Chains A and B, each alone.
Chain A
């Protein structure tokens, strides 16, 4: 069992602090996504794990072995048994697909069998003699994966491997890669800025923000219980309202709602309340329900996003996600209701800035 543990890792480039103390444990056999906006330091973290970059402080451990303690102990990347799949694959352009995959294999007797096996694993059996430029982006990506898996790595690192693929291809390549990694049973770390990708693929998601891990959890935990409003916004759309928490209920402009989670004082208090777009239901304006006007309607086929302006004073424009149905004209009057309990955070003191 080789868990990867990262402890207190910092890294700066000149005056710029990229990582400011990252702690992260990736359990053996899991699929962990590191999610962060561009410039959040996620690629730097990955490169430190791979051994391409050294941390200023902190420690990286692979199982019981320290591979980098930021001082004297350093295992160079060629001895770490970490497979690396960079963006756009980075296949060796002068080598055939078969030779690319075989690159890290020794001169063993069953080298050819191993290559065939790996190519079959990624669904590219007939492609051994092709060259990288004869492959599509998705195929290149799968060859890069096969090449990384050839050395039977303890961990596979995926650095935004799907970013360069077009949207239609991305979903299918993502699925293929996930299947291959599950089959191979390796520990995998995916770096991405795409929250859909992180939520759909990973067992565990770490959100990297301002050089630290802001939250770590399963996709459901992150989406359902973000630790602050900023994380809520980052992991999908959300409506953030003001409210007053008392006795497990919060009073907002949308009425009295059940609170799922409250980290504030037990007696209650002023709060920020998150309502996900799919938690709001639209209906005919009925008595006792909140009324609103449709501001815009975006149709996506499987669902639609409606922006509504509530009639009540002091409520912001709300984002509502509805499944199918007939398009709503702007100006149309409708009724709103909130489904299920909501997440509330204690409101920041003073000028309404969210705490870190």
Chain B
């Protein structure tokens, strides 16, 4: 029994909303939704006639086809790969399963464009649709693996036993019960995969595969064709919104129920028997492809390039700048998430939920689109002020990764029920003192996790940074990109290496932290139960 878990929420939703908190939350939501509003402003300025002409041309159809087919194939592959791997790791007697549980997740910490860079470095001829499928699947399948593994771990194995006792075979039991239990988690993971693939730019640019995102970037940055970029952005946002809507409609129907409070027994792992070496080989193969290739390529390039080509000064400068931006974005996003998370956890009611979910709309807006709409507005309405300045870049990062911060801060706030503060008050302790002695110690680690999530994502962000970074500042990602574009692979490699180090190591620690979070509500095992670095959809 957890000491804090039992505190009842009294009349949540009946108490009046605290005014200051509500104002803060509303303000944050407004800022977060600015890019979407700016996109609409842009579209209005461009005008329907021009938009119509831009939208209904064969290039648009090709781009949509390229993007949608890629999203569908990658999502399907990730669903199969992630679920199967999760089942092997969580529910079988696979040798070294605890080690695999870690190794299999690490690719999530490696930026997608670094993965494709690694493949391209080793197989220079690689490119096109299937190369994009391969790279993206290997880069993002952990988004399915993590929630499914969490859901399998928490699901009641008694259901499988009952199914077996009712005469179902092993395979049918797996399909109807196990997959059934994990279906919400699988679906949640798939939505994340879809959103990530929609927003990806660097990986496809490296592989020479044209999607909506690469075309938007080229229209805007290279061709300075703002109306075309705007039109394509509208399509991209619409596709993202469709994914989000699908997620929302399924979530409401999902239920995992367990009668009674008895502790679920630990699942007896399925025995692989003679299949064991085969499965082991397959898992090793997966780790080699997903982690071995990019990491190996980076190490190889650094070693082969030797020390002479290392530009240490600019590597340190880029690392320092990246670090600075990431810290700033982490702090801003975490603090901004606090009022909304506090409201939604402590005063759960319809208006607050609407406010919280409106922030999730930003998930449908790729970082590139956010960057472009800020560029447009600063150019047209602010005479270029703020454009390519550090504050605007930090604001962009904070908005992009705001949903991540919300998920983590919400989990943190849940750990400090209001009942504990009341008890502290009744013991004669002042409010401010309660904050220091009870609330902050309880939610501190969760706030740190929120900060770390945003920090990691910012440190490896490429697309928006390319558009908005101040001209005299290079981050690890932009410097990497500059060398990569020049085909100076061995010079690009150290930057990729630092990014992987920054992202992968703390990413693993974060993953463990989220695994320890208590289950919440009907989304048991869904993305909300075990979000991880790179996980975007919130509860």
Contacts and interface: CB of A to CB of B under 8 A. Distances in A.
Contacts of B430: 78
A83 interface: yes
B425 A151 contact: no
Interface stretch (A132-140, A172-180, A308-316): A132-140
B426 interface: yes
Interface string A89-132: 11111100000000110000000000000000000000000001
A164 B1 contact: yes
Given A86-B7, A90-B7, A103 B441 contact: no
Contacts of A81: 428
B442 A84 contact: no
Given A43-B10, A78-B430, A86-B419, A103 B1 contact: no
Given A14-B14, A43-B10, A86-B419, A140 B3 contact: yes
Contacts of A90: 3-4, 6-7, 417, 419-420, 423
A300 interface: no
A137 B428 contact: no
Interface string B437-455: 1100110000000000000
Given A13-B11, A47-B10, A78-B428, A132 B423 contact: no
Contacts of A14: 14
A78 B427 CA distance: 6
B3 A78 contact: no
A167 to B, nearest CB: 14
Interface in A185-217: none
A77 interface: yes
Interface residues of B, number: 29
B441 A82 contact: no
A219 B369 CA distance: 71
Contacts of A137: 1
Contact of B8 (A80, A82, A87, A133): A87
A179 B5 CA distance: 27
Contact of A87 (B4, B6, B415): B6
A51 interface: yes
A47 B4 CA distance: 18
A150 B427 contact: yes
A348 interface: no
B379 interface: no
A86 B442 CA distance: 19
A290 to B, nearest CB: 43
B14 A13 contact: yes
Nearest to A153: B426
A306 to B, nearest CB: 31
Of the listed residues A47, A83, A88, A133, the one surrounded by the most CB atoms of chain B closer than 10 A to its CB is A88
Interface string B378-422: 000000000000000000000000000000000000010101101
Interface of A: 13-14, 43-44, 47, 50-53, 76-84, 86-94, 103-104, 132-133, 136-137, 140, 147-148, 150-151, 164
Per CB-CB distance, the 4 closest pairs between chain A and chain B, nearest first, are: A88-B6, A104-B427, A132-B3, A13-B14
